[in-house]
Amino acid sequence: MMTQQSKTSTTHIECMNLQLVIGNRVLYNDINLSLSPGQVWAVLGLNGAGKTTLLHTLAGIHPAGAGQIRINDKLIEDWTRIELAQQVGLLLQTQQDPFPGKVIEHVLIGRHPHLSAMQWESEQDIQLAQQALTQVGLNGFENRSLQTLSGGEYQRMLIAMVLVQQPQCFLLDEPVNHLDWQHQHQILNRLVSLAKAQSNSILMALHDVNLAARYCSHCIMLFDNGQIEMGKTDELLDHDRLEQLYHTPISAIDGPHGQIFIPQ
């Protein structure tokens, strides 16, 4: 468990009448969403439905067509980039570093929002980075070159970088992409434990409905007709909605952690 962040998170993200746009195309209108401390949200939908656009808009790197985003009752445009990075951590879906470097150097980028200009990372920052690598199963990878990592190892390194950033809200775009079953569950268990222990909030785009059902307290379903449904996962995820969302026949069977959804 990382120890530098000693106080309980109180970050609250709220969007009101938000319009998601790509170019001149309006994807969704009037999104009203509240991310509260301790909640773990999944974003579900077809490829191209707008999952990434929603995450990028909430992170302040993609403009909304209309509406407001507030973090702790302060408009997102009124935060400086450094202040915002202390509150919100974004994991991009695709992120390749073209420059050679060591794993530990890349993970330490996550500490930059907490450092002043021209300040070097401290021994404590390095220890936090090492802890984060251990938490994602990359203990001993500190001095490995980025170019020697497999796709799954690189993805876990990126998650370590976001963990060491210690944001109070995590916006994660397909965090378990490229990961095998063992590491999918290891990472998601870690994230859920973090949310519970430090009252972080998490919003993550997922393709696996069963991972959303098992690990997420709430979910947002982005339908390709502009419809949005959101609420508690155990109340929202059902056979009929998922067939409408993914346009494919789906069977539901009882499993050890609730229903398991299987495309036919």
How many separate domains does the chain show?
Answer: 1
Whether 237 is in a domain gets the answer yes
Q: Which residues contact 163 (CB under 8 A, 6 or more apart)?
A: 2, 110, 132, 135, 136, 190, 194
Q: Is 145 exposed, middle or buried (0-12, 13-18, 19+ CB in 10 A)?
A: exposed
The tens place of each residue's pLDDT in the chain, 264 residues long, gives: 444 443 444 668 999 999 999 988 999 999 999 999 999 999 999 999 999 999 999 999 999 999 999 999 899 999 999 999 999 999 998 766 656 789 999 999 999 999 877 778 889 999 999 999 999 999 999 999 999 999 999 999 999 999 999 999 999 999 998 899 999 999 999 999 988 888 899 999 999 999 999 999 999 999 999 999 999 999 999 999 999 999 999 999 988 888 899 998
- d(CA 16, CA 32) in angstroms, rounded, equals 5
Q: Which pLDDT score is estimated for 7? A: 41
3-state secondary structure (DSSP) of residue 47? coil
Q: Which pLDDT score is estimated for 171? A: 97
**Token digits for 64?**
């909304």
Whether 136 is in a domain gets the answer no
Whether 238 is in a domain gets the answer yes
Which residues lie across from 220 on neighbouring strands?
43, 230
The range of the structural domain enclosing residue 56 comes to 13-96+167-263
Looking at residue 38, which CATH number applies to its domain?
Answer: 3.40.50.300
Q: Which pLDDT score is estimated for 98? A: 59
3-state secondary structure (DSSP) of residue 181? helix
Whether 162 is in a domain gets the answer no
Q: Which pLDDT score is estimated for 120? A: 85
Q: If you ran DSSP here, which 8-state letter would residue 150 be given?
A: -
Which residue has tokens 């890349």?
106
Q: Which pLDDT score is estimated for 1? A: 43
Q: How far is CA 49 from the centre of its chain?
A: 17
Strands (E) in the chain, as ranges, are: 13-22, 25-35, 40-45, 66-71, 74-75, 88-91, 169-173, 201-205, 218-222, 228-232, 250-255, 258-263
Q: Are 191 and 202 in contact (CB under 8 A)?
A: yes
Q: Which pLDDT score is estimated for 6? A: 39
Phi-psi region of 56 (alpha: psi -120 to 50; beta: other; left: phi over 0): alpha
Q: Which residues contact 19 (CB under 8 A, 6 or more apart)?
A: 26, 28, 29, 30, 31, 64, 65, 66, 67
Whether 258 is in a domain gets the answer yes
Which residue has tokens 């969704």?
28
Q: Which pLDDT score is estimated for 10? A: 62
Q: Which pLDDT score is estimated for 121? A: 82
Whether 104 is in a domain gets the answer no
Q: Are 17 and 174 in contact (CB under 8 A)?
A: no
- d(CA 2, CA 214) in angstroms, rounded, equals 24
Please state the pTM of the whole predicted model: 0.92
Whether 148 is in a domain gets the answer no
Q: Which pLDDT score is estimated for 96? A: 65
**Token digits for 33?**
């969403």
Whether 43 is in a domain gets the answer yes
Q: Which pLDDT score is estimated for 4? A: 45
